[in-house]
Amino acid sequence: MSTEAQEYKSRKSLDKPKYSTRVVRRCWKCGRKRGYMRKFGLCRICFREMANRGEIPGVRKASW
C-alpha cells in the first residue's frame, strides 16, 4: 500500500459520520450498543448494577 493510500485511510477514519443518526453510542463500561442510556453513558445492565451498588450519585431505587 502506498503512503498516499495509508494517509487517506488514516484521515478517513478520523472523519465524523456524515449523518448524526449513524453515530453508534456505546456503554463506556462494557461496550454494549443496545439499551444505551444517554444521560449516564451506560447500558441498562451496567446502569442497574452500578445503581444498586450506589455508585451513581442521585440515583436510587424507586418505592411508592
Binned at pLDDT 50, 70 and 90, residue 1 comes out as low
**pLDDT of 13:** 67
**42-43/36-37 β-pairing:** antiparallel
Alpha carbons 23 and 39: distance in angstroms, whole number: 16
Beta bridge partner(s), residue 42: 37
pLDDT at 10 over 60: yes
CATH architecture of 25-59: Irregular (4.10)
**pLDDT of 60:** 87
- Which contiguous run of DSSP H or E holds residue 33? none
Over residues 29-64, the pLDDT tens digits come to 998 999 999 999 999 999 999 999 999 999 988 998
Q: Where are the domains of the chain?
A: 25-59
Binned at pLDDT 50, 70 and 90, residue 19 comes out as confident
